[in-house]
Chain A
Amino acid sequence: EAQVTQNPRYLITVTGKKLTVTCSQNMNHEYMSWYRQDPGLGLRQIYYSMNVEVTDKGDVPEGYKVSRKEKRNFPLILESPSPNQTSLYFCASSLTRQNDEQFFGPGTRLTVL
């Protein structure tokens, strides 16, 4: 089944404790991205990747890191989480960046205390 998976689905952590949210797709997509969704603000892009070893900042990259060592995986790293990073996070992928259907992961609800 074609899908984007994210783990964990739910995470409660404390300020400053490094964490990684994994994202994996099995569709051989080139383009992957991370979004956060906050009430009243809609989806905001954190980082995106056009292909392996090619990543770039989105609209709200501060406090986040990503890597793209393999085509299928695009982990999101919070080196020192803060409470303002409490949010619902989505990983998404598409075949390319241009004019292609977006496939979303199930979301990760992160709470930073």
Chain B
Amino acid sequence: KNEVEQSPQNLTAQEGEFITINCSYSVGISALHWLQQHPGGGIVSLFMLSSGKKKHGRLIATINIQEKHSSLHITASHPRDSAVYICAAEMDSNYQLIWGAGTKLIIKP
């Protein structure tokens, strides 16, 4: 069983829709990372959070430590949001990152 599970694996939505991507983990963590990988391959960090909620523009990340679950939300989605979104759990024992398999998001105009 993977220690970090993302859902859904694939998501196609229309422009303007509210998007939610989920990340569940089974290990104790010191932080949860969300990253974005564009079709060209480059990976950029979106959020790093250990509690509560963070917001950057139209992106919101939340985490529930007790339930070992994090969500990434995109409001007013746009075709340029099309990418693979990856979560990674940073283990509190050794700070190693455990990577999710990614969620491929396609936003249609």
- Tell me the A residues contacting B by CB distance below 8 Å: 40-45, 88, 90, 92, 97-104, 106-107, 109
Contacts and interface: CB of A to CB of B under 8 A. Distances in A.
A101 B48 contact: yes
Given A98-B95, A99-B90, A104 B101 contact: no
Contacts, number: 46
B101 A40 contact: yes
B41 A88 contact: yes
Interface of B: 30-31, 33, 35, 41-45, 48, 50, 86, 88, 90, 95-97, 99-102
A87 B35 CA distance: 20
Given A97-B95, A99-B30, A42 B86 contact: yes
A56 to B, nearest CB: 10
17 contacts: A41-B101, A42-B86, A98-B90, A98-B95, A99-B30, A99-B90, A101-B45, A101-B48, A102-B33, A102-B97, A103-B45, A104-B35, A104-B43, A104-B44, A104-B45, A107-B43, A109-B41
A99 B31 contact: yes
B42 A107 contact: yes
